[in-house]
Amino acid sequence: MKITRRDVLKGGALAAGAMALGGPSHPAFAQGKELNVVGATFNLRDVILQEFTKRAGITVKPWLSPSAQARADRLRVAPVDTLETGADFMKYAWDDKLIVPIDLSRVPNWKRAPRLFWEGQETPTSPVGFGDNPGRLMYADKEKTKAKYIPYMYQFDSVGYNPDKVPAPNNVLSWGELFNPKWRGKVALYGIDWLGILDAAMGMQALGLLKAKDPANLTEKEVDTVILFLKEKKKEGHFRALWKAFGELVNLMAAQEVWIADAWWPVVVEVRKKGVPCRYAEAVEGYRAWAVGSCLSATAKNIDGAYEWFNFWLEGFAGAEQSKLGFYSPVDSYKKYLTPEQVRELYEGVGRDGGSIAARNAKIWTWNTKPAKQEYYTDKWNEFLAS
């Protein structure tokens, strides 16, 4: 990059201004060395950030929050280079023009992503999955040369349970098991409206209590049905707690306050580490999947750094590290960094609940979704909380 005299003058003026203000803004010439990233602690992990800094010579300045909304809103109020989020909030950020398209020709590894992320279906006959399907939503143009975000980790949520308390033949459970009255007082459900209602809808659909065409985008009448059912269950004391963050659910299951919940595989891993039995069921009806990735902020200053960041995530090191926690990487570059046994266990399903990644890719029932009737969802959910 050619540095012109103007740049130096601009940089100098900015530096003087910054020093006068004593403020945190950095002179323009140092911006190549910093990357402002907004994300959460389950992906912006120390080991990954250290490696990136080592390789790229760019210091990552993370802003962390467990609230997906807050992460997106951060782009409104502070200078941010990239936003790490899922397809649901990527949609939100895109609609509000907080992010801009990513040029896929600069992210060569994306070509190696499975068909699931190019067409939205792993095979032409596997279910598309209701809701915000990244493979269908992430491209900014018909030719698929530009993406709204680069997914670099994905997972399938199912029912997590304590096998000592909840019997499950062959580790297969239905989503409806969440509402089995036998587990009254020992159940946890996701506590944020769009996801709690979605999981409840899935459970009710499995039990035949609901006949929704699209469980991820319920009509108002269908939401009413779900909430009525949830209110009944709450009155019966069915739910021990609602969980909003990974750490909360781990605590709940490790303390055995909760025996069954809608969970992520990594939760199961953590609970087991604490000596409490926990398994992740193969859902009869299929999984709820989600994919988190990186978006380019509309106000990004270090665009080159951002592309290095995107490429780093698909290069394999980060993918391998996340895989060890139980997340999946869409690009198989992680193979470089994992032993063959690890690959067999984590991706091919040997000795792992739920089977191989291929099997899971083909069994997606719904995706994490920000529903069209979001406001109605929230109102009814608040009713549920108030009851």
Residue among 74, 65, 107, 79 at smallest CA distance from 93 = 74
Task: Specify whether the CB–CB gap between 72 and 29 falls below 8 A.
Answer: no
Q: The tokens of 296 are what? A: 């380019």
| Residue 191 Cβ vs other proteins, minimum distance, rounded to whole Å | 4
For other proteins, which is the closer residue by CB, 232 or 375? Answer: 375
What is the Cα–Cα distance from 113 to 325, expressed in whole angstroms?
20
270 touching other proteins, by CB under 8 A: yes
| Residue 336 Cβ vs other proteins, minimum distance, rounded to whole Å | 23
For other proteins, which is the closer residue by CB, 128 or 276? Answer: 276
273 touching other proteins, by CB under 8 A: yes
For other proteins, which is the closer residue by CB, 254 or 314? Answer: 254
Span 228-257, contacts to other proteins by CB under 8 A? 234, 239-248, 250-251, 254-257
What is the Cα–Cα distance from 237 to 255, expressed in whole angstroms?
19
Backbone angles phi, psi at 328, to 5 degrees: -105, 145
What is the Cα–Cα distance from 49 to 263, expressed in whole angstroms?
26
Number of residues that bind other proteins (CB under 8 A): 71
What is the Cα–Cα distance from 313 to 327, expressed in whole angstroms?
13
Query: Which of 67, 112, 127, 232 contacts other proteins by CB under 8 A?
Result: 67
| Residues contacting 375, CB < 8 A, separation 6+ | none
| Residue 220 Cβ vs other proteins, minimum distance, rounded to whole Å | 14
63 touching other proteins, by CB under 8 A: yes
Residue among 17, 12, 82 at smallest CA distance from 304 = 82
| Residue 344 Cβ vs other proteins, minimum distance, rounded to whole Å | 24
Select the span of 23-31, 120-128, 208-216, 283-291 touching other proteins (CB under 8 A).
23-31
| Residue 109 Cβ vs other proteins, minimum distance, rounded to whole Å | 24
Query: Which of 28, 32, 73, 146 contacts other proteins by CB under 8 A?
Result: 73
Select the span of 74-82, 100-108, 134-142, 215-223 touching other proteins (CB under 8 A).
74-82
Q: The tokens of 283 are what? A: 């859902």
Select the span of 164-172, 201-209, 344-352, 375-383 touching other proteins (CB under 8 A).
375-383
For other proteins, which is the closer residue by CB, 30 or 255? Answer: 255
| Residue 378 Cβ vs other proteins, minimum distance, rounded to whole Å | 5
181 touching other proteins, by CB under 8 A: no
353 touching other proteins, by CB under 8 A: no
For other proteins, which is the closer residue by CB, 128 or 385? Answer: 385
| Residue 124 Cβ vs other proteins, minimum distance, rounded to whole Å | 35
Pattern 76-115, other proteins, x by CB under 8 A:
xxx-------------x--xx-------------------
Query: Nearest 10 degrees: CA dihedral of 365, 367, 368, 370?
Result: -110
179 touching other proteins, by CB under 8 A: no
* CA distance readout (Å), 230 to 157, 185, 220, 223, 239: 20, 13, 15, 10, 9
Select the span of 53-61, 161-169, 210-218, 301-309 touching other proteins (CB under 8 A).
53-61
